[in-house]
Amino acid sequence: MHCVRCVRSAILDTPDNGFMSTSLLLTAYLGILEPTTVEPPEGSPEGRRELGNFELAVFGQRGVLDCACGRHEPIPVALEDLEKASPVQGLLACPLCVHESRSARSRTQMVEAWIRRRRKAINKIQHLYLPESLERFAEKGQLLRPRRYVYQVFFNVKLKSDDHVLSTCDDQFCLNPYHMMLGKSPARKVSPQMKLDIQQWSNNNASTQTILGLLKIKYGKSFSARTVQLIKKELRQSGFTKI
């Protein structure tokens, strides 16, 4: 009989290479001592529910754990064994997610690990919010904009300085990457003083067309209605996106 703590300590510092047996995986990552050997079930599940970072599909007395990251093979398990499961540092997830979470040191690394861990669970309909403990973060002493960082991590892209991440939903706190779009920042054409004027005029309930006319009169420059609308939206969001 193996000690769960001994098995975990021998395995957790080494990422799963894909050759770990299901029995050893269940012991090391779910804390199930001497788990029952079960064959992967066939057919349609009787039901589904969330278990930590897994979606559990139920097939009679058997279940299949599918991690929300979408990177690990589904894990068959006896339902009676799940009653004995214990998380690794509070996390019930596949080996890849556990190792990323354990190796994260900075706040941004924690955010990145969280996004990758929840990737498959993020859909195009529901809003998405970071856990409260991860809402404000920095990298190398520089404060970052959550929406911009989430977009880069989720879509695995490196944004240019003039790429502006805009929200497409009506929730300014939503960080669902599917609710974002890229646009060129209006700041390239609009000076800080112009922004201050636009903010003041907006606070006085001036319409977009009125603001366009005022900019033309004061600065002798013409802008599109979309540019002014983007700036007004940026100003509304600045309290959250500019930490």
Q: Comparing C-alpha atoms, which of 163, 172, 214 is closest to residue 193?
A: 214
| pLDDT tens digit sequence for 43-76 | 999 999 999 999 999 999 999 999 999 999 999 9
Domain ranges of the chain: 4-88, 104-184, 187-241
> Rounded mean pLDDT of 32-53?
92
Banded model confidence at residue 10, pLDDT cuts 50, 70, 90: low
Supply the angle between the helices 4-11 and 22-30 in degrees, to the nearest 10.
100
pLDDT at 182 over 90: no
Higher pLDDT residue, 87 or 142? 87
Would you say 154 and 122 are in contact if contact means Cβ atoms under 8 Å apart? yes
Give, for 182, the enclosing helix (H) or strand (E).
Answer: strand 180-184
* Range scoring the smallest mean pLDDT among 81-85, 131-135, 170-174, 220-224: 131-135
At 136 the pLDDT is 60
Q: How many CB atoms lie within 10 A of CB 114?
A: 21
pLDDT at 28 over 50: yes
Task: Tell how far CA 206 is from the center of its chain.
Answer: 37
Please list, residue by residue across 149-174, b when 16 or more beta carbons sit within 10 angstroms of its beta carbon and e when fewer do: bbbbbbeeeeeeeeebbbbeeeeeeb
- Is the CA virtual torsion 95, 114, 72, 35 positive or negative? positive
At 135 the pLDDT is 60
At 242 the pLDDT is 40
| pLDDT tens digit sequence for 112-164 | 999 999 999 999 999 998 887 666 665 555 556 788 889 999 999 998 877 88
Task: Tell how far CA 120 is from the center of its chain.
Answer: 10
Tokens of 66: 């599918």
At 19 the pLDDT is 61
At 230 the pLDDT is 81
Percent of the chain whose pLDDT exceeds 90: 41
CA angle 88, 101, 158 (to 5 degrees): 165
At 141 the pLDDT is 58
Q: What is the C-alpha to C-alpha distance for residues 55 and 119, in angstroms, rounded to an integer?
A: 13
At 240 the pLDDT is 39
Higher pLDDT residue, 226 or 57? 57
Sheet with 54-59, side-by-side order of all strands: 47-51, 54-59, 62-67, 75-78
